[in-house]
Amino acid sequence: MFLRPALLAPALLAPALLALAVPVASAEDTTPGQVHTLDLAARLYAHALATDDALSAVTAFRLVQSVTLRDDTSWQKSTEDVTGSEIVFRTLPPEKQREVAQSTAKTSGFSALALVSGEMEAATREIAAGDDELTALVDDAATATARGRIGGANQQVAALAPGKKDTWQIPFAGQERAEIGVFGDGSGGLAWMVADAAGLPVCIDHYSEQPLYCAFTPAANAFYTVTVISRSDVEGQYLLATN
């Protein structure tokens, strides 16, 4: 059963939301962008499912609805077999495996991709059912127009089979905050690496069933390489987003 706490004032809720955002890599001291908002929302929604927190689920849904996603077909992608040398898979100690299993048991199968794509309205309405105030918040977010949104993020959705990796080439402007996020469909874990034009890693994660997020500031205009690797036994999809 989902908890239905009294609605919190934004000033009280914001610190709790920000505490849930755990970037993979450090970033310059600049204002977070739209991809950070999507990452925050996905993590908050997963937290809501794990803790039966209806308010957090509705808040996460509202955060996602505040961002406009637009397709970017200019990114270049290649798909190859995983050789095993790209990102070494590090097996967690048994006690850590148990901890991760317990923490993710209630969110197993949660699709961050569906959430950030705006496909979780029905599920969120079910969570909010019986609470008029929460239902009104869902209604308000679902009917919001682009006029009231905070801005756009670029996206592409890709399928990835077991034993495969996608390599993306994405341009970023120099001296401006860059953000990249990967949101899986809940079918299994992913690994990734973001590397600069010289091939040096900027962000790396050996295995995650949570959203992947990276923020950095390029010194100059350059293409960055984003490698996404399947750690699943089944084919899945993910959404790649940038600012």
Q: What is the mean pLDDT of residues 224-239?
A: 94
Interval 21-42: pLDDT, tens: 444 444 454 788 999 999 999 9
Q: Which residue has the higher pLDDT, 75 or 97?
A: 75
- Residue 98, in any domain of the structure: yes
* Count of residues in the chain: 243
pLDDT, residue 17, reads 43
Q: Which residue has the higher pLDDT, 145 or 14?
A: 145
- Residue 5, in any domain of the structure: no
Half-sphere exposure of 24 (CA within 13 A, CB side): 23
Domain range enclosing 48 = 10-242
**Would you say residue 221 has pLDDT above 70?**
yes
pLDDT, residue 108, reads 53
Q: Is the dihedral of CA 27, 181, 7, 146 positive or negative?
A: positive
Amino acid letter for position 126: E
The CATH number of residue 161's host domain is: 2.60.120.380
Contact present, 222 and 100 (Cβ < 8 Å)? no
pLDDT, residue 119, reads 87
Task: Give residue 225's pLDDT band: very low, low, confident or very high (50, 70, 90).
Answer: very high
- Residue 50, in any domain of the structure: yes
Q: Which of 162, 183, 137, 141 is nearest to 39 (CA)?
A: 183
**Pairwise CA distance, residues 101 & 108, whole Å:** 9
Q: How many domains does the chain have?
A: 1
**Pairwise CA distance, residues 58 & 54, whole Å:** 6
Amino acid letter for position 16: A
Interval 35-67: pLDDT, tens: 999 999 999 999 998 888 999 999 999 999 888
- Residue 3, in any domain of the structure: no
Contact present, 222 and 172 (Cβ < 8 Å)? yes
Q: What is the mean pLDDT of residues 118-125?
A: 88
**Would you say residue 90 has pLDDT above 80?**
no
- Residue 65, in any domain of the structure: yes
**DSSP code for 107:** G
- Residue 155, in any domain of the structure: yes
Q: Going edge to edge, which strands form the sheet with 190-195?
A: 76-81, 164-172, 222-230, 190-195, 201-208
The pLDDT > 70 percentage for the chain reads 74
**Would you say residue 9 has pLDDT above 60?**
no
Q: List the Cα angle 133/138/144 in 5-degree steps.
A: 125
Q: Which of 99, 115, 96 is nearest to 39 (CA)?
A: 115
- Residue 1, in any domain of the structure: no
- Cα 225 to its chain centre, rounded Å, is 18
Calculate the average pLDDT of the chain.
Answer: 81
Interval 140-199: pLDDT, tens: 888 875 444 555 789 999 999 999 999 999 999 999 999 999 999 999 999 999 999 999
- Residue 4, in any domain of the structure: no
